[in-house]
Amino acid sequence: MLIFAHNKLGKLVSINDVPNGKLCQCTCPGCDDELVARNRGKIKAHSFAHTSKPEESSCLMTALHRFAQEYLAAQEQILLPSVKYKHMGKTKVRPPKLVKILQGSVESPLDKYKMDVELETSVGKIFIEVKVTANCSDEKVSYIKSNKLATLEIDLSQFLEQSIEAVIDALRNVEPYSTWIYSWCDEALKNEIEKEIEAERVAAQQALEREIKRKKTTAKRAINNLIRSGTIGLPAKELPFTTLIEAKKYQLQAKVLNAGSWRFNNFQVMIDTEDYILATCQMLSKKGKEANKLFIFFPYSAEALRDFKPIPNSAVLCRLFRKGSYPYKWLSFPEPSPHKLKKAQDKAEQAKRESLEYFENYSL
């Protein structure tokens, strides 16, 4: 349904704005065939008809495309659709914005391209590409983006057979039918996101520095308390093992060290850096005899803990900077004697057997 045509002056006109029949003196924008206006009907929609050539889809496309160009260029304002911009894992949204049009033109040359509509607006220059059948070419899209040209593509493909009122309504509210190739505020949104990320980085760095400072203070205090008391609360140590009970395999834990308070002597700070402290002491048995050497690691950050190289076959504790009786965890633990390990495994296996017997009897 052709609803736009060129009048005798070459101006694009609507079917509702011309005399009926051949008095309209109009031609097809697509094929230049002479047209007649059919705009007196009360039931059928008004439209132009070709006189000597068949109406081709290209005629409708050209007419709709041209009307949209001239309509947009002639307006005093435009409601720019919303903008959604993603960058560096963040998303920024600008709501629709009504802007004033200072000047409009069609078929504006730009390098080797022609832009359908060029608008000088209150927020800067904005180009509009009108899609009736084909999308804006990949090459042209690349040029627009690389040159940061605010460009909106409006898709009118569904309005080829629609009334002029429907077309105008769509051009007044382009949000549902448009896509930003490069928006008028992409650069501003990009800068906002980068500023936010930088602010977050600075805040995180400051928080890390405060946390490191806190851990340094805590480590110094903990060391002073250890030296003063001569005792340390060691966490329990369990070693995993696999056993068979009545032909069924079980994964159990053999406790080779119970949690408790142990005495020590010869406490020394071996390494004191900006990232960690490594100290050592000589553990004492319950009878006061010297036992294994213990290393205590005080990391101020996750990186320091990750980069720490365990001391082979040595007892190494890590300070977790948490409250409680045992604010440590084992980083490494010396291999227990075969006798001690077997005794702990037997105890764990016996406890498992008793548990199985209890539940078996309970279910009966």
For 205-256, write each residue's pLDDT tens digit. Answer: 999 999 999 999 999 999 999 999 999 999 999 999 999 998 999 999 999 9
Strand partners of residue 315:
294
Which pLDDT does position 322 carry in this prediction? 74
- Name the nearest CA neighbour of 232 among 255, 266, 256: 266
Average pLDDT of the chain is 91
Residue with tokens 């993603």: 86
Query: Taking the CA of residue 317 as centre, how many other CA atoms within 13 Å lie in the half-sphere pointing to its CB?
Result: 21
Tell me which residue has tokens 């408790």. Answer: 260
Task: Give dist(CA 132, CA 80) in Å, integer.
Answer: 19
Q: What is the pLDDT of residue 138?
A: 93
SS3 call for 27: strand
- Name 321's Cβ contacts closer than 8 Å, sequence gap at least 6: 214, 215, 218, 219, 327
Strand 113-121 versus strand 260-272 pairing type: unpaired
Pairing between strand 248-257 and 290-299?
Answer: unpaired
**DSSP-assigned letter for residue 176:** G
pLDDT of residue 324: 65
Give the per-residue pLDDT at 330.
Answer: 94
pLDDT given for residue 357 in this prediction: 87
pLDDT at position 54: 78
Residue count of the chain, please give it.
364
Contact present, 354 and 347 (Cβ < 8 Å): no
**What pLDDT, on a 0 to 100 scale, did the predictor assign at position 259?**
92
Q: What is the pLDDT of residue 43?
A: 58
Q: Which two tokens stand for residue 114?
A: 């022609």
User: Which of the residues in the chain have pLDDT under 50?
Assistant: none
Rg (CA), the chain: 41
Backbone angles phi, psi at 71, to 5 degrees: -65, -50
User: Residue 197 is which amino acid?
Assistant: I
CA–centroid distance for 294 within its chain: 46
Cα separation of 73 and 84, whole Å? 25
Query: Counting runs of H as helices and runs of E as strands, what totals does the chain give?
Result: 6, 21
Residue 325 has what pLDDT?
Answer: 62
> Taking Cα atoms as reference points, which of 31, 54, 13, 49 lies closest to residue 164?
13
Residue keyed to tokens 């005794």: 343
pLDDT attached to residue 127: 97
Q: 202, 219 in Cβ contact below 8 A? A: no
- DSSP, collapsed to helix, strand or coil, labels residue 364 as coil
